[in-house]
Chains A and B, each alone.
Chain A
């Protein structure tokens, strides 16, 4: 086939290897900075079934690095927007878009339909969920994660190799909860790390080269230094996951997405019984203007619970929504009732307030 000619003429791949690719089923969790290049290369390579799950929508600030999207994708679900671009890239493969959030209830069934799972998510809660679901369904996990100018890549749960929990047994504390939208990231970095992940996927399918199993590759975009560290498999960590196999479906996200109600700024802007609470650190911009806002940084939330209104509904926001969920879980632990997460981040809230004020003036 003309399309895959440059693969087929490689003696390491050939028609036989290309057939293996066309029979393979790969699920990519997250169509963000990492997910975009992963999906792009797997689709171009002719992986027969590519799945993509993402609940999020495309925002302008994504376009600096999420290369499958353009201005015409703004406001659309990422999984669906990715599918529409990928279908144009390769119309000979099956692309399944799941416009929903991966959770303990849908992960096992979904992973069961694929051969390899790729982690392109942006939070620890989902990363641990993906690892555990991969252990339970016995699927290899191609892991990638980034921070500012650095990235990590590994292949977990492959050929009796270590799992994510063998490398990172302890779920990080609140201090590490910042993500790209809060700390920033060099646009090309997820391109590099995601492409390394796509490479590992292809190697696993084709059975060529040395897969990064039992190794954690650390890359620094500023120095071009690559450090490869060995990881040992821990039977204890492995068994811990399998112990919870039977009640896996009943679990809920602990810190992030669990027990809270999510609301939109659109629904509460002109309601008087809401107190807006900004839990970003004091230095973080932009300031939300046009409504009274109580600022209490997440790190000090527990010390300033008295600033919260007893009678009003509390609407909490941060830069992107990730820390808000942590804040809600703290508030719940302290028996503070009537708390909601605003699903939009500070910039979007500002934009919406500005737009609605303009509308009022024009009217």
Chain B
């Protein structure tokens, strides 16, 4: 399944893009992250949340959307 992944904040710097499409064969968000951790080792040092269908979801959630958003917490003010 072709999934679009959007990277917010400093994650876009790790992935060197703001979004990308990847062909993903697994079924859960945790599996998708495992693939992304291999692709971008810097991602392991980042804290971030995952959203699909405009909702923040736990990592054990089954992927049901073609768009996944990864967003880090911001601290600046």
Residues of chain A having any CB pair with chain B under 8 Å: 30, 32-35, 119-124, 127, 144-148, 150-152, 167-168, 170, 172-173, 175-177, 179-180, 183, 185, 190, 216, 218, 227-232
Contacts and interface: CB of A to CB of B under 8 A. Distances in A.
B72 interface: yes
Given A147-B10, A173-B45, A176-B10, A216 B56 contact: yes
The B interface is mostly helix, strand or loop, or mixed, namely: loop
23 contacts: A30-B77, A119-B77, A127-B75, A144-B77, A145-B73, A146-B77, A147-B72, A147-B75, A151-B74, A152-B74, A172-B73, A173-B47, A179-B75, A179-B77, A180-B77, A190-B77, A218-B8, A218-B71, A227-B69, A229-B54, A229-B69, A229-B71, A232-B56
B77 A122 contact: yes
A121 B69 contact: no
Interface of B: 8-10, 45-47, 49, 51, 54-56, 69, 71-77
Contacts of A227: 54, 69
Contact of A123 (B47, B69, B75): B75
Given A170-B47, A176-B10, A229 B55 contact: yes
B52 to A, nearest CB: 10
B54 A145 contact: no
B9 A147 contact: yes
B56 A167 contact: yes
Contact of B47 (A30, A119, A147, A172): A172
B47 A145 contact: no
A88 B72 CA distance: 39
Contacts of B54: 227-230
A146 B56 contact: no
Nearest to B55: A230
B49 A167 contact: yes
